[in-house]
Amino acid sequence: MNFKKLILLFLIFFTSACNQFDKNNKSLVYISDQKYSNTGFTLIYKDKLKKEKKISKKIDNRSLLIFHNKIKKNSFVKITNPVNNKTVIAKVISNNVKFSDFYNSVISQRIAEELFLDPMEPYIDLVLISNNSTFIAKKAKTFDEEKQVAEKAPVDGITIDNLGLEKQKETKIKKQKFLYSIKIADFYYRDSAENMIIRIKDETNIKNSLIKKLSKTKYRVLLGPFNDIKKLEKSFNEIKVLNFENIEILKDA
């Protein structure tokens, strides 16, 4: 009987110690998004991309369809052009098409035209939505500290910008300088962000990593800035070996 009590006490002590270790291990704590979203460059479909084997499947350029490698097939997404805030709703027609991970999606020519995207700089904000117009939370790693401090993200409304109507005249927008950074993650503790910087330096050849303090409880790890899309893509592809969950590209970060 005493032996059983001893085992029980040991298990309680061991479990408590493990929980305490997790709470004190700040290197693991980062802030996760409340909904799936990604800001970055999209690939505008052209038939020559298929011929050049840069993409494994064709897409109907007259449709409001996209390819995505993380979102479930037949899901709907809201795509926004941050330059002019034009928005469309599109459907994920496939999630097993092969294309460069540098792009967060492949879109049809029609979507590019609806958003007035710059074909040389097709930068978009993509957000997963559900059938009842609310955002679906993505699966992400969370820890006790983050559960207590994370703020619930407000649910944005969904608007369809002139779908099925006569296209408006394109507004002339002043061309901005190419300047982007790669967002690795947001952290609750500065120590966590610094540990991430050390890992990047130890495991890659990337040297231009930095920490940006957004608030007392939010530290962002960035790479860059980059003023050339080729250099941006090279660093993006290099950082992939660390298997980060949702790398984003931010403009003027």
pLDDT 10s digits, 72-130: 899 999 999 999 999 999 999 998 999 999 999 999 999 999 999 999 999 999 999 86
Q: Are 123 and 91 in contact (CB under 8 A)?
A: no
pLDDT at residue 97, as a whole number: 92
pLDDT tens digits, 162-201:
444 444 444 455 566 889 999 999 999 999 999 999 999 9
Q: Is the pLDDT of residue 153 over 90?
A: no
- Tens-digit pLDDT profile for residues 3-54: 555 555 554 444 444 443 333 444 445 444 457 789 999 999 999 998 899 9
Confidence of residue 155 (pLDDT cuts 50, 70, 90): very low
pLDDT of residue 166: 45
Question: What's the 3-state SS for 75-132?
Answer: CEEEEEECCCCEEEEEEEEECCCCECCCCCCEECHHHHHHHCCCCCCCEEEEEEECCC
Question: For residue 242, is pLDDT > 60?
Answer: yes
Domains for the chain: give ranges and CATH numbers. Answer: 37-129 (2.40.40.10), 177-253 (3.30.70.1070)
pLDDT (0 to 100) of residue 5: 55
**Interatomic CA distance for residues 88 and 37, integer angstroms:** 15
In this predicted structure, what is the pLDDT of residue 241?
82
CB atoms within 10 A of CB 37: 18
Largest pairwise CA distance in the chain: 84
What is the structure's pLDDT at 32? 46
pTM here?
0.66
